[in-house]
A and B are shown apart, each in its own frame.
Chain A
Amino acid sequence: LSDSHATAVDTAESHPQLRHHFADMEQQKNTASLGMWLFLVTEIMFFGGLFCAYLIYRLMYFPAFGAASQTLDIKLGAFNTAVLLISSVTVVLAVRAAQDGNRKQLVAYLVLTVLLGLTFLGVKAIEYKEKFETHHVPGPTFHFDKPFDDNGKEIPVDPQHAQLFFSLYFAMTGMHALHMVIGCGLFTVLTVLAWKGHYSPGYYTPIENAGLYWHLVDIIWIYLFPLLYLISRHS
């Protein structure tokens, strides 16, 4: 059965979602979407500080960073990258379903997105656990064995510098995971509201804006993956 809110025409004055200070739904939608884009700009600046710190230290201590990076599980990282890319597709499909007023599809895609997000976090937890077990977590118990090159010779790297890599690894992926957690919460709320028929082809801005947020978090991972996992993997 069709969604009760998905009326054929959304007249400007009568729309229940129009807030008092806007002239019409179009102005409201444009305003919300500009606000979201600007928020994403602040997010980029926020992560920018981390990326800047990472790049400087990677330049300063490249051998140690390369050696430390080798200890990350490239398969799990690649799997997670794929999971996030697929979740971006489901978000786009959710927006599309909202535009079409297809409530069932909308709910399905939103649920799928949340599940993919949780999958990512689960894999991340496994990776973190492995780091704890191998004493790669910075702190008093930190331990890093000097790596060997192709000829079996020990590469002289300072464990302190490897520890710096792991510091940045946890700071960056941790901050990213925090954004994923927020995103999963956000999409859970949207799922409930979508289930209740809150959205219609005339009003789906929250879905669209949450989608923008999700894409940004994805893109950040797209940069994190090669920067953290793929240093000197050329052998």
Chain B
Amino acid sequence: MASAAIPAKPTNYLTNGFTIKSWLLTTDHKRIAILYLISITLFFFLGGFFAMLIRLELLTPQGDLLPADTYNKVFTMHGMIMVFFFLVPVVPAVLGNFLVPLMIGAKDLAFPRINLLSWYLYIAGGLLFLHCMLNGGVDTGWTFYTPFSTLTNTNFIEAGLAIFLAGFSSIFTGLNFIVTIHRMRAPGLTWSRLPLFIWAHYATSLVMILGTPVIAITIVLVAVERLFHLGIFDPKLGGDPLLFQHLFWFYSHPAVYIMILPSMGIMSELITAFSHKRIFGYKFVALSSIAIAVFGFLVWAHHMFVTGMSLYAAMVFSFLSFLVGVPSAIKVFNWTATLYRGSITYATPMLYAFGFIGLFTIGGLTGLFLATLGIDVHVTDTYFVVAHFHYIMVGGQVMGFLGGMHFWWPKISGRLYPEGWAKLSALFVFVGFNLTFFPQFILGYMGMPRRYWQYPPEFQVLNVLSTAGASILAVGYLLPMIYFAWSLRYGPIAEANPWNAAGLEWKAASPPPTFNFDETPVVTWEAYNYDEIEPKELEAPVER
């Protein structure tokens, strides 16, 4: 040991260069994850702003806050931003980017420069979308059904191009993950030893690379139809608008699994770490991710039961939609079975995990209602559908993301977050979420249609509840922003493995050095070998 006066602090990925250029031209997957984290958070709050406008308008039965046309634009902006610029990339591009190489003992993703390119594509798409938004926005709804999207006088082409670019960003992310998982695993890390987070991201990536190109070509077709008046979807010119819906949902239904599978991967990590126990039925949880990805491609037409499609086709799609329930239920049962006789710690990430299980179960079961032909006809295009998919996407993906952010924050930042505040915010999120969206199930069942800026007065009580819940939810989302930022400076320094968790990422320093591991690890153990790890007290971290 050299006896220098000041022991040199080992550089980590955060201290390896401080210039703006060192961030904007980085190929380090961890830095790219941070770039994504910042940009995606901005879009989340922008989408949230539009959500608040919707909720405020619906506070009263009259259309008093926004004119009808503006309301159309507001819910379109909310949907497009949240789906294409937040929900799809949020977990893969932030946590996946950060963790996939760490979890498999690699120095980086397979294609670091393509990884950076995909961030730039995201930013290019995002800026284009902002430009479109500031110049009047779009009023097609996030589903941009034809023939309306080819006839509307708002600038759909620009918004479509923005989504196209964001789509290629996620194609490249998915491609990068699949190749990385195939080719970059550390010696000894066989497929049956992979963390379930990796399996979930593998399944997500499959959906990304198989589904996204289809929405890309669909957007191109709508754009050329608008530009050159081709008659591909316009019935006036011989086209078929149903074809658009088929192509659209061929991507957009699997895409809802992009918006839940990654969080399911997070769940498996959280549940095992905080019950200090091996996952129950590893193979089933792993393969159910793949099964969800595969089944997900076979059910798209359940969004189209009322379009007059063939009844026999509808029955097949209904049946297949029920099948998706099987692997989803396997996951929920296996997580709860993992809890059984585990030594459970109620840390914040675990609270989010519990929230996820409850909300996902409600979201999933109401999904079965909607897969049922008769009920679907009754509640199509009502708030029942809105509530259902928010339970999956917000109750699922966002709860999972927040749980994961708390869990891996010490790894990402090298600091611990304040546990008390974090628990409080988890409570706010859970209560606020349910108060916002549970009334919407009832509203929808009573017949309140989605996408209307006014409604009959008898629906007001439930709408007021929903708006109140949205306000609580907003506080719950703002709090982590504040205390995460606070902890960067004032949080206690985190050790390499503050949760005493299994997984290769906890064997790297916190924050990890640029190339993750000084020496490529050799894996000789199964994932979640918690029976080989001494449990330790995981109560509130001690200030030091």
Contact = CB atoms under 8 A, between A and B. Distances in A.
Contact of A31 (B183, B228, B230, B515): B183
A57 B238 CA distance: 9
Interface residues on B, range: 35 or more
Interface in A172-202: 175
B160 to A, nearest CB: 14
Contacts of B229: 138-140
Contact of A49 (B175, B176, B182, B218): B218
Contact of B107 (A20, A56, A160): A20
A138 B228 CA distance: 7
A30 interface: yes
Contacts of B515: 20-21
Contacts of A175: 217, 220
B47 to A, nearest CB: 27
B183 A21 contact: no
Contacts of A46: 213-214, 216-217
Most chain-B CB neighbours within 10 Å: which of A27, A43, A50, A61? Answer: A50
A12 to B, nearest CB: 14
B74 interface: no
A226 interface: no
Interface string A17-58: 000110100010011001100110111011111101100110
Interface stretch (A90-98, A112-120, A163-171, A215-223): A163-171
Nearest to A46: B213
Task: Specify which of B182, B230, B243, B520 lies most central, judged by the most chain A CB atoms within 10 Å of its CB.
Answer: B230
Contacts of B237: 160, 163-164
A34 B214 CA distance: 21
Given A21-B108, A23-B520, A161 B238 contact: yes
A35 B17 CA distance: 30
A192 to B, nearest CB: 20
Given A46-B213, A48-B214, A49-B247, A34 B232 contact: no
Contact of A35 (B111, B231, B247): B111
Interface in A138-174: 138-140, 158, 160-161, 163-164, 167-168, 170-171
A168 B110 contact: no
A164 B231 contact: yes
Given A38-B179, A42-B171, A49 B110 contact: no
Contacts of A171: 220-221, 224, 230, 232
B184 interface: yes
A32 B228 CA distance: 39
A103 B335 CA distance: 59
Contacts of B218: 49
Contacts of B213: 42-43, 45-46, 48-49
Given A30-B183, A138-B228, A138-B231, A52 B239 contact: no
B230 A167 contact: yes
21 contacts: A21-B107, A21-B184, A31-B110, A31-B179, A35-B114, A38-B178, A38-B179, A38-B209, A42-B209, A45-B210, A49-B217, A49-B221, A53-B232, A56-B243, A57-B238, A61-B238, A139-B228, A140-B229, A158-B238, A167-B231, A175-B220
Interface of B: 106-108, 110-112, 114, 171, 175-176, 178-179, 182-184, 209-214, 216-218, 220-221, 224, 228-232, 237-240, 243, 247, 250, 515, 520
Given A31-B179, A168-B232, 10 more contacts: A21-B106, A35-B179, A42-B175, A49-B217, A49-B250, A60-B240, A61-B238, A140-B229, A164-B231, A170-B230
**Closest A-B pairs by Cβ, 10 of them:** A46-B213, A167-B230, A49-B217, A21-B107, A45-B213, A160-B238, A21-B108, A31-B183, A35-B179, A42-B213
